[in-house]
Amino acid sequence: MAGGCRENIRLRVAAAGITAALTACSGTADVTGGEVEEDSPSRLEARVTRLQGETGLTGVAVAVMTDGQLVGATAAGERRRGSGIQVTVDDRWHIGSITKSMTATLLAVLEDDGLLSADDTVAALLPEVEAADAWGRCTVHHLLTHTAGAPANFPNAAQSVWPDTAEELVGARGRFIADVLAQEPESPCGERFAYSNVGYTIAGHIAETVAGKPYEALLQDRVLAPLMLASAGFGPPRGAAPNQEPIGHRVLLRWFRLRMDPFETRADNSPVMAPAGTAHMTIGDLARYGAAHLAGESATSPPLLPRAAWERLHTPFLDDYARGWVRVERDWAGGPVLWHNGSNTLWYALLMVLPARNTVLAFATNDGAIRTAETAFVELARELGGPAPAS
């Protein structure tokens, strides 16, 4: 079971599918957008309970932040399918490729420190690696916008690598990256968008190289701790004993769910790929993380970074993709929507920032029914983030 999981799990972002859904989905508003009414938390709870029941997702969590306040957070369903153990808002959820925006934020912090520039080349920042000539033209900016020509994923062999120490992990990450950089990019840098977990892993390795600290500790120290995201960690959520946290579920034959318990199997991608998508946190902390990016859009004194740095993070380069975020304009949101989703095929999460509504929406499920979750979450996002009905 563990071997199959390691071989087949792939991080993903359903850019084309969800962008279309953001345009086309509609729904009746059980919870209003705009001004939050006094009974909104109970209405949100009822709406999420209905969503979980109608979709059959194992467990679901949703959080809403407006004007910097957590105005609603609720969870419905089970930690382990068939167990009867209910999920809670304090549970931690695997967020997959939403980790990419955290990696991009970390690189921006290091740039603000003067340790690197987004215009520095991969070859210059990793001088000990014997890179093919074209990597001398690929920059950090290209890595973070998926335009560096890096392959989508590492070879399957990477999924069997689970180092015991942070030092061994950095070394393993470096070796897999060196193998990639020894080959020419798959497309000229800056010319084509091609979603790449490898590219973000390279970016994370650059961060740990220039800062002299493993990526995981560096992200904790420079991004997660300053934003007070105390629940954040890496890999599948795991309590002190089984059933203390939700577990992921793989979908088989469309209806059967294979329980992927981290006490029994390696229920995630290899930690080598951590900068591309192995973070977890509570649904409230996921919303709070989004709120930091919302503040970067409009606050006079945003956290972590100056306004200009946030603007660079949020400005698309090709195919609406910025640095760790997709940015699109949507009428229902009254303007731009910054979003990213993530899945290791056992979980699915979606984070949306709606600057015109001053709202952040966070969604997660411990179920691998990705399309089902995506459709339901986007529909609910339109309800929560749309204009308030006329009084």
Residues facing residue 256 across a β-bridge: 252
Q: Is the pLDDT of residue 282 over 50?
A: yes
* Spatial separation of the C-alpha atoms in residues 213 and 221, rounded to whole Å: 10
User: In order of start, what are the domains of the chain with their CATH numbers?
Assistant: 2-101+237-385 (3.40.710.10), 104-222 (3.40.710.10)
Q: What is the pLDDT of residue 326?
A: 98
Please say whether the beta carbons of 303 and 227 come within 8 A: yes
pLDDT interval class at 18 (50, 70, 90)? very low
pLDDT interval class at 23 (50, 70, 90)? very low
Judged by average pLDDT, the poorest of 24-28, 56-60, 108-112, 232-236 is 24-28
List pLDDT tens digits, range 351-370: 999 999 999 999 999 999 99
Q: What is the DSSP string of 22-88?
A: HHH-----SS-SSSPPTTHHHHHHHHHHHHHHHH--SEEEEEEEETTEEEEEEEEEBSSTTS-PBP-
List pLDDT tens digits, range 327-337: 999 999 999 99
The mean predicted confidence, pLDDT, of the chain is: 90
* Spatial separation of the C-alpha atoms in residues 162 and 370, rounded to whole Å: 26
* Spatial separation of the C-alpha atoms in residues 325 and 319, rounded to whole Å: 11
List pLDDT tens digits, range 45-69: 999 999 999 999 999 999 999 999 9
Q: Is the pLDDT of residue 217 over 70?
A: yes
Q: What is the pLDDT of residue 255?
A: 85
List pLDDT tens digits, range 170-202: 999 999 999 999 999 999 999 999 999 999 999
Q: What angle do CA 292, 57, 281 make, to 5 degrees?
A: 30
pLDDT interval class at 27 (50, 70, 90)? very low
List pLDDT tens digits, range 367-388: 999 999 999 999 999 999 988 6
SS3 label, residue 135: helix
For helices 15-24 and 370-385, give the axis angle rounded to 10 degrees.
Answer: 40
Query: Residue 186 corresponds to which tokens in the numbers above?
Result: 């798959």
Q: What is the pLDDT of residue 196?
A: 98
Higher pLDDT, 390 or 138: 138
pLDDT interval class at 40 (50, 70, 90)? low
Q: What is the pLDDT of residue 300?
A: 81
Please say whether the beta carbons of 166 and 217 come within 8 A: yes
Q: Is the pLDDT of residue 37 over 60?
A: no
* Spatial separation of the C-alpha atoms in residues 150 and 312, rounded to whole Å: 22
Query: Residue 144 corresponds to which tokens in the numbers above?
Result: 């973070």
E strands, the chain, in order: 59-66, 69-77, 92-96, 233-234, 248-252, 256-260, 279-282, 326-330, 335-342, 348-354, 359-365
Please say whether the beta carbons of 125 and 138 come within 8 A: no
Query: Residue 383 corresponds to which tokens in the numbers above?
Result: 């309800």
* Spatial separation of the C-alpha atoms in residues 107 and 204, rounded to whole Å: 8
Q: Is the pLDDT of residue 12 over 90?
A: no
Query: Residue 45 corresponds to which tokens in the numbers above?
Result: 């709870």
Q: What is the pLDDT of residue 1?
A: 28
> Cα dist. 30→201, 225, 351 in Å?
41, 35, 20
* Spatial separation of the C-alpha atoms in residues 313 and 303, rounded to whole Å: 14
What's the helix, strand, coil split of the chain in %, to 5?
Answer: 40, 20, 40
Is pTM beyond 0.85 here? yes
List pLDDT tens digits, range 251-276: 998 889 999 999 999 999 999 999 99
Q: Is the pLDDT of residue 164 over 60?
A: yes
Strands 248-252 and 326-330: unpaired
